[in-house]
Amino acid sequence: MPAKSKTNPPETKPIELTTSPLKNETLRQYSAFRLYCQAGSLSKLIDAWRKLVGTEANRIKAGEFGVNLGKPIAFRYAETWCSRFHWVARKRLWESEQLAELESVLNESMRMKKHKLMRLFDTALDKVQKDLEGNAIITTADLKRIWEMSTTETGGATSKSEVAITDQRPLSPAERETASKIDEIIKAELSKQKGSDDQNTGGDHPPQKQNPAGR
């Protein structure tokens, strides 16, 4: 007898995971999946579902989402939906998307905060420079406090010990410009203080001691 030819089983295409509705997933099933992501487990899903649509007030508060869910289902049906529509894997994907979105929001918030701080620091530097031109007394300690506030918020080092253990990187053009402003202001302040000291002493030098004759 001729040998029977072996037939390979048909290849099954891998499921493309997504947090959007899958093919053949009804609006009610997808709404249940979204609630499952929030609840964290099937048992908590059923509890949250019952609370969400258990009273008229809660149904009104839930709005369209509560209408899409409808009446709570039995636990065994939730297990079936979970398996058929790959809720566990999709929940992990949903969590990673939420984390990425949160990280993006935090990064944008930090970027805006740093931008505002640098604008504030530039404004403070301009004020210090104008005050110096108007012969106002601005100490280097005042300038140091402003610089430390800005550097701390932007993640820079504020002391020599921090510089020693921090990975160094080239200064950006904005940082070089800021450092140049600081140098100019400190030099102007030191020059001003030196001029004030010379006026107070009359520019005289203390007389040198002379050795007695014959010694």
Q: What is the pLDDT of residues 172-193, one digit of tens each?
A: 777 677 777 777 777 777 777 6
Question: Does residue 88 register a pLDDT over 90?
Answer: yes
Q: Where are the domains of the chain?
A: 27-85, 110-164+173-199
Dig out the tokens for 60 from the structure. Answer: 């009104």
* CB contact set of 201 (below 8 Å; sequence gap of 6+): none
pLDDT band with cut points at 50, 70 and 90 for residue 201: low
Residue by residue, what is the 3-state secondary structure of the chain? CCCCCCCCCCCCCCCCCCCCCCCCCCHHHHHHHHHHHHHCCHHHHHHHHHHHHCCHHHHHHHCHHHHHHCCCCCHHHHHHHHHHCCHHHHHHHHHHHHHHHHHHHHHHHHHHHHHHHHHHHHHHHHHHHHHHHCCCCCCHHHHHHHHHHHHHHCCCCCCHHHHHHCCCCCCCHHHHHHHHHHHHHHHHHHHHHHHHHHHHHCCCCCCCCCCCCCC
pLDDT tens per residue across span 32-69: 999 999 999 999 999 999 998 888 788 788 888 888 89
Mean pLDDT of 82-93: 94
Tell me the whole-structure pTM to 2 decimals: 0.50
User: So what's the pLDDT on residue 209?
Assistant: 53
User: How far is it, in rounded angstroms, from Cα 125 to Cα 132?
Assistant: 11
Mean pLDDT of 65-87: 93
